[in-house]
A and B are shown apart, each in its own frame.
Chain A
């Protein structure tokens, strides 16, 4: 109390900073705990992972991780990677020219095109699910990575175009004018001038594509069975898995979550912008 009386302002400020910090840390730990618990369970033995009460202090072991990786999980991870990389490349290939024609050299009715594109993103999957399934079946594309690439591209393309466009709108106008005076063609302008300058935009777009394709479950579970099944499908095998498989489940869950977790953490700045299609910076 005497300290407070001597320096009322600063002392109180410091105490309040400590109090607010403590509260913030407590909340963050509550939210993060399930993620941490998932990783910890994956480092336990099956007996420890299913013990009553839960094992809190233990010597970590990589047994569960090794077992999951040496068994049948890798093909699922590879399928996830193929679907994600394939659709991300396709989004960039289709999205970059489109974003360019909707920002730097805007076509007529740009607003309508943008409005239309984003409305397709929020069309529920119910709208096109059944015909896509019938079509995939008739073209023998069920359980084929290609069908996931096609669908994930559709999911991410509208977001990608909006996002890339928001980055292109920020480019200094003088730069493009100068290139145009020099007689740069549209293709030259896009590839040699715009592209190098919007690398952060490409990173943000790739991140969003990664999050939505890698974690996608609905189409994966309905359009693939074994050959093209992605990593969330591997986890389905644990649903009915009664018995002592929690460590393996947690190890697989951790491995499956890791790429998006790491990418999202590294690119936190791009995350908000990407998730809001460039609306929030």
Chain B
């Protein structure tokens, strides 16, 4: 808007000589900065706390530096990356991250869709049901993880074990025998409500007349879901899945509280490995190299997530 009002005056300014043209131009520039002013503090803040440290991470990753050793930091080129890539424990951590993320997201999306469809039907007590369903997502993850470990899946006193006594699993140690499945289970319990909320919002924004017309035309419920509802809620499902993966890829709380990455390395994911390298081994160089690799892995996921977000926002503005 500002540029439109300034432009016509430029030819006359040129006729009058350079002085006024310069002042008009600088006024326009000032105007531009004034417009930008409100966004600058936030932008500078984010750059200072995320981008500058990231550059430092790259810098540290090229150094041999351990906080526990008295030796000063020393430039060693790509040695940390070679170490990291040759480290079998890190390959396991990457694999565990992928398994945990893919399983937890896939299962919670599937369950979330099912429950959302159910809650979108004519049923009793919808509001209360939704309120109960989002409980798991709101409970503090560290608190929930401890409750699962100590009072639900505890082989001695756990309630789930108690319920499963008739089928002989009364003293079965789920977390030790199936550590990854247990972590996936807890994450699914936590993220299904999140997926359900997003899909339910999608279902509720669906045009009922289209469904009614299809019903009049004799479409069966399953057909309608497959060919009308599912395409409509697809962007919502994608959004849920992608946001969910970005969060679950970073999961740390549940693992820290229940298994501490074990037994052995069975549940050590990349964030937990990073924690071990940075805050148990204090190997700054190696931890930074893991950090850079984690960024590259996340960027691949995030690119898709952002693209989806933007398609949804474009649909919004077109409306």
Contact = CB atoms under 8 A, between A and B. Distances in A.
B49 A281 contact: no
A161 B45 CA distance: 13
Interface in B81-139: 115, 118-119, 121-125, 129-139
A257 B140 contact: yes
Contacts of A58: none
A255 to B, nearest CB: 9
A215 B271 contact: no
A51 B156 CA distance: 9
Contacts of B49: 128, 132, 150-151, 153-154
Contacts of A128: 49-50, 53-54, 56-57, 291
Nearest to A117: B46
User: Which of A18, A54, A154, A238 has the largest count of B CB atoms less than 10 A from its CB?
Assistant: A54
B243 A34 contact: no
Interface stretch (B9-17, B33-41, B175-183, B206-214): B33-41
Contacts of B223: none
B23 interface: no
B182 to A, nearest CB: 13
Contact of B295 (A23, A123, A218): A123
A12 interface: no
A122 B305 contact: yes
Contacts of B257: 235-236, 239
Interface in A186-233: 186, 190, 211, 214-215, 217-218, 221-222, 231-232
Contact of A154 (B50, B165, B274, B302): B50
User: Which of A102, A133, A153 has the largest count of B CB atoms less than 10 A from its CB?
Assistant: A133
A271 B294 contact: no
Contacts of A264: 134, 137-138
B279 A222 contact: yes
Contact of A23 (B36, B118, B133): B118
Contacts of B241: none
A28 B42 CA distance: 41
A191 B118 CA distance: 44
SS class, residues of chain A in contact with chain B:
helix
Nearest to B193: A31
User: Which of B156, B249, B292, B316 has the largest count of A CB atoms less than 10 A from its CB?
Assistant: B316
A148 interface: no
Contacts of B137: 264
B270 interface: yes
B224 interface: no
Interface in A74-114: 94-95, 97-98, 100-102, 105, 107-108, 113
Interface string B253-277: 1001100100000000011001100
A64 interface: no
Contact of A37 (B42, B140, B159): B159
Contacts of A153: 45, 49
B26 interface: no
Interface residues of A, number: 98
A97 B118 contact: no
A268 interface: yes
Contacts of B32: 108
Contacts of B312: 279-280
B129 A28 contact: yes
Given A31-B135, A119-B306, A24 B140 contact: no
B152 interface: yes
B7 interface: no
A31 B197 contact: no
Contact of A271 (B42, B134, B252): B134
A271 B197 contact: yes
Contacts of A126: 57, 270-271, 274, 290-291, 294-295
A50 B301 CA distance: 43
B316 A122 contact: no
A38 B50 contact: no
Contacts of B317: 169
Given A128-B57, A232-B253, A261-B138, A97 B38 contact: yes
Contacts of B193: 31
Contacts of A250: 147, 151
A17 B121 CA distance: 8
B197 A217 contact: no
B252 to A, nearest CB: 5
Contacts of A53: 162, 165
B162 A54 contact: yes
12 contacts: A34-B189, A37-B152, A52-B156, A105-B35, A117-B46, A123-B50, A123-B298, A128-B57, A211-B138, A222-B275, A260-B139, A279-B239
Interface of B: 32, 34-39, 41-43, 45-46, 49-54, 56-57, 60, 115, 118-119, 121-125, 129-144, 146-148, 150-152, 156-159, 162, 165, 189, 192-194, 197-198, 201-202, 205, 236, 239, 243, 246, 249-250, 252-253, 256-257, 260, 270-271, 274-275, 278-279, 284, 287-288, 290-292, 294-295, 298, 301-302, 305-306, 309-310, 312-313, 316-317
Given A150-B49, A275-B198, 7 more contacts: A32-B133, A97-B39, A107-B36, A132-B53, A153-B49, A218-B253, A271-B134
